[in-house]
Amino acid sequence: MEKITVSLGNRTYPVIISNGLFKDLNSFWCLKANDKVMIVTNQTLSPIYLNEFIILLKNLRIKVDYIILPDGEKYKNLETVNQIISSLLKQSHGRNTILIALGGGVIGDITGFTAAIYQRGVRFIQIPTTLLAQIDASIGGKTGVNHILGKNMIGAFHQPISVIIDTKFLCSLPSREFSSGLAEAIKYGIILDNLFFHWLENNIDSLMALDENALIYCIRRCCELKANIVSIDEHEIGHRSILNLGHTFGHAIETHMGYGNWLHGESISVGMVMAACIAERLGQFKKSDTEKIINLLKRAKLPIRGPIEMVPKDYLTYMMRDKKVISDKLRLILPLSIGMSEIRNGISNELIFDVINECQDCAYIEN
């Protein structure tokens, strides 16, 4: 078992990385006898993991209820939150209850948001089952749901009391979902850690093969990087925004194409290419580094061009609703070099349009 700490004063919590979660009771240090919990999971995971998890909790003398939700990004909405709240009320859960998110980023976001608003706030635990959730979404307290006009537009900052990661979950993860998670790992290398980016270049094949040692190192390093940023800027007032490299473009793709049709990691993969190309056009990023990013994304089986159904004005409509827009001014996260990035204002719509067009037809990224 490995432990990383997210340091937030009296809301400090551990990120525990293990192999064989349901066999190690020490992972559940934050639960005690007679606690009452509500497990939130989905229809895909419940047949595989739910019964075993319930048995473990009952062995700890925990009182357990659960709710099984439909699987998919399109269910990340207020209607689903209302279903969870109704279940909590019907089963007499009070302010001392603990919600447990057993699932990927969608389940984690929905559960965390419900925990933030139920009876003005209750505790919750993240047990992320996808690579993307393990290395990114489960850490940092960002919770929320989507709106038809924009992704993650309804939410709250609400930190978990623990994040418990088990690499065994990844063995049952579809390959497309695994690749989606790798996009976030590549993002960390681009914005924060050039040595980690080079490690990914050298070890991407081992990761794709689910090599245990490679997985543990990748997850641990991503969690360390995320924990450091969150500890400095919990509410994304400043530096934490760099974690959104590619997300302004990516969220536009997810929203326009219909939630779940393009996976989050697939969308930000394209967004990172577009951000790199803009940085290159501004003269602050090397073409050779753009090529390195594109090659690594390809090796991770991620897309490098956006949906053919989208034109530049489609992107801009959603991008101007982005949470990083301040006083109607779009801000983008752009790389300066591999391992270093910045928050950049004042980029013209014309440049954004040009790069989107060039990336769409691959005229720029493959020349």
Per-residue pLDDT tens over the stretch 124-138: 999 999 999 999 999
Cβ-contact 312, 352 below 8 angstroms: yes
291 annotated as a binding-site residue = no
Considering 177, 234, 236, 358, which one is annotated as catalytic? Answer: 236
168 annotated as a binding-site residue = no
| Rounded distance between C-alpha atoms, residue 335 and residue 189, angstroms | 11
Q: What is the pLDDT of residue 325?
A: 66
313 annotated as a binding-site residue = no
Q: β-strands 150-157, 13-18: how paired? A: unpaired
The answer to whether 120 is a known catalytic residue is yes
The answer to whether 244 is a known catalytic residue is yes
Straight-line distance from the first to the last Cα atom of the chain, in angstroms, rounded to the nearest whole number: 46
User: What's at 302, amino acid-wise?
Assistant: L
Chain centroid offset of residue 152 CA: 11
75 annotated as a binding-site residue = yes
Considering 247, 256, 292, 331, which one is annotated as catalytic? Answer: 247
| Rounded distance between C-alpha atoms, residue 366 and residue 290, angstroms | 10
200 membership: H or E segment, kind and range = helix 194-208
Q: What is the pLDDT of residue 10?
A: 96
The answer to whether 264 is a known catalytic residue is yes
| Rounded distance between C-alpha atoms, residue 157 and residue 150, angstroms | 18
The answer to whether 184 is a known catalytic residue is yes
* Same domain (yes/no): 167, 186: no
* Same domain (yes/no): 138, 199: no
* Same domain (yes/no): 183, 254: yes
Query: Of 128-132, 151-155, 305-309, 362-366, where does the model show the most confidence?
Result: 128-132
Residues 6+ apart with CB under 8 A from 183: 132, 246, 264, 265, 266, 268, 269, 272, 297, 300, 302
Give the three-state DSSP class for 175.
helix
The answer to whether 266 is a known catalytic residue is no
Number of domains in the chain: 2
Per-residue pLDDT tens over the stretch 228-266: 999 999 999 889 999 999 999 999 999 999 999 999 999
Q: How confident is the model at residue 21 (pLDDT cuts 50, 70, 90)?
A: confident
Cβ-contact 164, 22 below 8 angstroms: no
Q: What is the pLDDT of residue 207?
A: 98
Domain with residue 203: its CATH number is 1.20.1090.10
Q: How many C-beta atoms surround the C-beta of residue 12 within 10 A? A: 12
Inside any domain, residue 313: yes
Q: Which of 308, 313, 305, 310 is nearest to 353 (CA)?
A: 313
Count, residues in the chain:
367
Range of the domain at 60: 2-172
129 annotated as a binding-site residue = yes
* Same domain (yes/no): 23, 98: yes
